[in-house]
Structure 1
């Protein structure tokens, strides 16, 4: 018989959830792709501020990059699970990893399109 699991509530739940999120960040920072995306984010913020974007445009960029980080975290989770349950090469595992990678690519493209449009608009039209 399984022991009963005590469900945390209130402030205890908040701190437990924060601890899990910090653990996820610590795992994700080990990924070269995530570190490159963080660099992309930092350079993008500097460029956006340098061309004088509005606060609204800056917030859109931040939200897009947060979405990119979330998709990267989910992609890494998919890779971890596939590697755990199917260490041998399988087409199903390959497809799952490829789909996660495509999702990350879509978010990078979304960030890039927004940056090109916004920076270009400010450089061309002030």
Structure 2
């Protein structure tokens, strides 16, 4: 059997772990802000939430939209992570790398469509009194 060496990274525990994780999350957010797709998704979310408020959406409807947008952001973060790893381990063009990136992009698209459909339905239901 192969022996595995211990991680070079020391894991924090307790409250230190909480603050370390918060720092890693902040770093991830800062990295994601460098992606134009994420910045566009932030604008989409802000515009959607403003529209929901303007048409008089309920708090529950707005919270559902927030959860959907957080899903978009989370999947965009994972997609960016996949792209970073593929670019690092496989700088040459490969079908496997292309497929991984395409699948991540498709996951983001699915969440964007779900969010968009929810916004359209909710806004239309308030404007048309459905």
TM bin (shorter chain): over 0.9
TM-score by length of 1: 0.95
Query: 1:110, 1:70 → 2: CA distance?
Result: 14
Mapping of residues 1-126 of structure 1, within 5 Å: 6-125=10-129
Query: 1:63, 1:43 → 2: CA distance?
Result: 15
TM-score by length of 2: 0.92
Matched positions, count: 126
The Cα shift of 1:105 comes to 0.3
The Cα shift of 1:3 comes to 8.0
Per the alignment, do residues 4 and 66 of structure 1 end up closer, same or farther by CA in structure 2, a change over 3 Å counting? closer
Q: After TM superposition, which residue ranges in structure 1, 4 or more long, deviate above 4 angstroms?
A: 1-5
Query: 1:90, 1:99 → 2: CA distance?
Result: 14
The Cα shift of 1:66 comes to 0.2
Q: State the Cα RMSD in Å.
A: 1.6
Query: 1:6, 1:79 → 2: CA distance?
Result: 26
Deviations 1:11-60 (A, max 9, x none): 10110000000000010000000000000011001100000000000000
The Cα shift of 1:10 comes to 1.2
Gaps of 5+ in 2: none
